[in-house]
A and B are shown apart, each in its own frame.
Chain A
């Protein structure tokens, strides 16, 4: 009975993480399209939401589960997964609160690593996996996107430089519809699978599914629905940061950062080296701005974003570890996770109320 309660809580936490993932990463898909006026905000977000939902059904091959490559899979228990998810959700909400785009995948990895270390010690961490699959790509992704977008926009300006601005602008805006669609589909496929993997692992650990089982249809559908609902809710604060606060972009820069970013992500995925979409898109936006004029980039905003990227893994790990510690005070039953869930929900509600009460609402101008 107790294990079933924990399982239900883990599934709820996984779907909540999925929601924050969609909510947090809406900006990766729509920010550049909205800021250049390629699409109206509500239309862009609704389309991104639908494409995220569809993307989640495209592939059900549960890609190497997030934790598998960085933590000894044998050490994973539902309580560790739960604490890791709380770490990831909390960090996603903290960065949303400050309007900073950060990697949801890194938050999840950090949360699970932290809770696993708190449970079993540092020996469960697979250092090679953490370095090779997480830390090195975290450095390469934004640099690669920065350079690719910078070179792309430089060549693009030379190609279309003397043509009529109206046709050029319209052309790149149409291009953004295509590249934005690709990004929405890719996000749904890639990120919803993480939640499917986590829920499937919890079901296997609980004995509800056999080892090596594929995710059941209800897991796929609920993960797709959660990420689509999160995307539709729209993380406006982060959309504003990515779309207007790093650079004031034109349609060519919008297409370049999005199109080059999508191509970089898909090419790297093809070679089995998936990069953070958040790092790629924001690195691309900075590169597209810097290539035009170095001072076009608001380096203070860019610096804050990089600091958030650096802090994501350790911060989520610490929250995950503390959550596991608090949970374990109440033993191995369901009491700890239930109490932590209640406290977490209260804290989230307080954060939303506080944000709603402070300052003017964040909106993104269209056109």
Chain B
């Protein structure tokens, strides 16, 4: 009777859990940053602080691009499995 550790390939499983956790949390948090950027852009624009508003918009756009990149990677994973 093989040990459970031998059956499950513990290293592979731990790797899966860590990467899946990082991906799951990462995508959500980065998308939250994109929303934060959009919300701050609107507020700072109304307060007539264009430089700060531009910086917030830049952060938001970069975060959004990161989420889109994650989605593209997701599609590549789907097609290559």
- On A, residues with C-beta under 8 Å from B are 55, 58-59, 61, 63, 128, 131-132, 136, 140, 144-145, 147-149, 151-153, 155-156, 159-160, 163-164, 167-168, 171-172, 175, 178, 182, 185-186, 189-190, 252, 255-256, 259-273, 275
Contact = CB atoms under 8 A, between A and B. Distances in A.
Given A185-B78, A270-B81, A155 B8 contact: no
A269 B77 contact: yes
A148 B35 contact: no
Contacts of B22: 267
B48 interface: no
A267 B33 contact: no
A178 B24 CA distance: 15
Contacts of B33: 159
Given A59-B78, A136-B8, A182 B28 contact: no
B74 A262 contact: yes
B36 A159 contact: yes
Interface centre among B8, B24, B25, B33 (most CB of A within 10 A): B24
Given A59-B81, A140-B17, A185-B78, A167 B39 contact: yes
A131 to B, nearest CB: 5
B73 to A, nearest CB: 8
A164 B23 contact: no
Contact of B31 (A63, A151, A175, A270): A175
Interface residues of B, number: 43
A272 B80 CA distance: 11
B77 A270 contact: yes
B69 interface: no
A171 B34 contact: yes
Contacts of B42: 164, 167
A263 B36 contact: no
Interface centre among A58, A148, A189, A272 (most CB of B within 10 A): A148
Contacts of B77: 266, 269-270
B9 A266 contact: no
B40 A267 contact: no
B65 interface: no
19 contacts: A131-B7, A132-B9, A136-B8, A155-B28, A155-B29, A163-B39, A167-B42, A171-B31, A186-B74, A189-B78, A259-B28, A260-B25, A262-B27, A263-B20, A263-B70, A268-B20, A270-B77, A273-B12, A273-B16
A151 B20 contact: no
Given A58-B79, A136-B8, A159-B29, A264 B35 contact: no
A61 B81 contact: yes
Contacts of B13: 136, 140, 273
A263 B29 CA distance: 12
B30 to A, nearest CB: 10
